[in-house]
Structure 1
Amino acid sequence: MRRFSLWLRGKPIVADSVLAALLLLFEILGVGNAHNKFAYLAIGAVLPLPVVLRRVYPRAMAACTLGLSLIASLIGFLTDDRADHIALLSQGILLYTLVAYVGRREGLWYGLGLVIDLMLSIAAMHKPAGSDIIFTVMFYALCWTLAEFIGARHAYDTEVAARLAVADYDKERRAHDAVSAERTRIARELHDVVAHAVSVIIVQADGAKYALRRDPDAAGQALTIIASTGREALRELRRTVALLRTEHAPDQLPQHGTAGIAKVVEMMRGTGLAVELELTGGLDDIAPEVSLGVHRIVQESLTNTLRHAGPHPKAWVRVRRTDSDVLIDVTDSGGVPLREPGARIEGSGLGLVGMRERVAVLGGSLEAGRNSEGAWQVYASIPLQPGSLE
């Protein structure tokens, strides 16, 4: 049953089609009260149709419902048929849809249209207005209240899902960084092993060349050292290369350039963090290591903002490419850590340290702290041609 519920939640048209079919069934059952049964069925068969696509095109379907209601009133007036269309309950369903899935402003405009439609319908049908107005107002109020509750729940679930996505992404990123750090350590160890072995071999080979005729024993000893050093270096090389054979999956690597920065910003916006992004200059053709450095600084800075900038955090991200370097400026609204239980995403406290180390490896500089306006600011400069790590 739960699997069916989850499947149905992912296919709104199916559930809404069932709802529209129920409204159509009620219309068929109520045809006996109609004076002109053909006209009643004709308009009754069309009235439920906007419900089918109400969550796909909510604004358009709300407008269609209002239009169909006006047509129903006009047909009833022309045929002198005062029978009520039960399918007009779709008006309340569309009001609920607009408030819950689009916004209150659209719901208010639609509600005003419903009031006008109700007045025109009562005037055209020459029916008592009191009971109809009371029932309709109570029905619409119920639809609005339910929409407010469901909409708030959807917004909460969306924010929680976005925060969990950020936490998962941050966890994967930290795991990737840990593996990268280990690979860097292995690469340095490999460099040390090979450099040491090659240096010894070169020195001994030069010595053996000079001692070959004058002191054959010394030359033989040098060749023995060369052979043993080469074998040891080969063993170390094989052991180290074995650790490097497994590659990262491509989807675990961050996307470079403007697309990668935009992805991070969009993900942070989903958590409720208001972010303004400004990208200047060509950022898609810079070196991959520089692009990765920019990506990580923006990501770590926004993550820190989400953790520490208060209950309604805001951030401004500006990345600008100059002739010689890339400038990153991330400023937030300041504030204090959140106090609500479970509201913070705990970190290791090494974010700034990691950013400084990354920028230093790339030959750049990073400054972090409160500016003159009291806001927290991270400012980094990374050269377009990163320094050598040799």
Structure 2
Amino acid sequence: MSMSPGEGASARGLWWWEQRRSALLDGFLAALAALECALGGYSFFGDRLHLGAAAVVPATVIGALGGASLLVRRRWPAVPVLVSMVLVPGLFGIILLVVSLYTLAATWTWPSRRGRVLVLSSVVFVETLGMVLFSLLTIEPKPGEPLPATWVFVLIAVLVSVGLTVPPVVTGLYIGARRRLVESLKDRAHGLEAELDLLAEQARERARRARLEERTRIAREMHDVVAHRVSLMVVHAGALERIVAKDPEKAAQSAKLMADTGRQALNELREILGVLRMNEGPAVEAPSVLAELPRLVDQSKAAGMTVTLTVSGSRRPYNGEAEQTAYRVVQEGLTNAHKHAGGARVSVLLAYLPNGVRVAVLNDCPGGGEQVKLPSGGNGLVGMRERVLALGGSFLAGPEQDGGYRVEALLPSRLAVSTDRLV
């Protein structure tokens, strides 16, 4: 926080100069003013008043001390002005007067303290005017030489008083205002720099979060693809191992299904990786992902699962992200059924409702109600929940009362694609 030279210096104790050259300048001005005031005091009390050494010596010392008061002009700007007002009646201390008025106007905050500046400057002006005019009017004329008119003396006194007081005050006000403007611009520049740093930090944080969210999204997609396809391949591999010697034809069919499943997994992985390499371009309407649910169910049937698909309601197209999420929910439910509920009957439901689209995967408890290990609801279900909630939908995954398990999601109707866009 910036401050004027005459303020806040008390925090630094006796030595209030911010720079060494400022101290040297004040010392030079104080020495010069002290010399002038000492000579002026000696001349006034000795030559004009014709007093003895007992009065001249103290007057000279006091004059020197008064001129030296310029040393404190940056700390207490009013002190040299008050001292100069004491010396004005003697018509000496011009350097002290000019420098102190300049300092007073330059260092005191304007306009909050303009009253003090105006009052002290006005008093000095009036005092100087009165003393100069008094000095001119009391001049003893030489014999035979007439004195000028009184208005001439008044004009001279006014000009001298204005010359001694107005220029220092005006110059001080200008320099002080310029100094405060520069300090204000510096403060503003520092503030803008801090704000830019904050904005840059926020941008970096947003970029970091965006990268994290994108990595999380890609990881979920990879999990959805790999977990489901690999689960099917493991099921087929287990069946192939059991029947390869007994039923070569069925074993060949299982091997073909494994190959098809592997190719589908590779294709989906290539699509995901292709999105990472794709340049941003105009949006293209993607085909319906929910239309692929029958094929997904058929793959589970081919792996030996007893699964049925039920579709109800008037079909409505939804945006690509919504349909992809619904598809992944069904895929995750079937994957969990493959891993944790082998042999159980599974039902897949797809319902187009007035308030949205609902998908659900329900599996019975295998073994006639015996206690079995149910789907654990691991990272896959956690990821599904986050994706559904991010779209404003609702998600449910948990055991049923009969020992089965349900995975269900409802996506809101606002995600549906307007029919106008399909024309």
TM range (shorter): 0.3 to 0.5
Q: Given the two structures, how large is their TM-score scaled by the length of structure 1?
A: 0.41
Q: Given the two structures, how large is their TM-score scaled by the length of structure 2?
A: 0.38
Larger Rg: 2
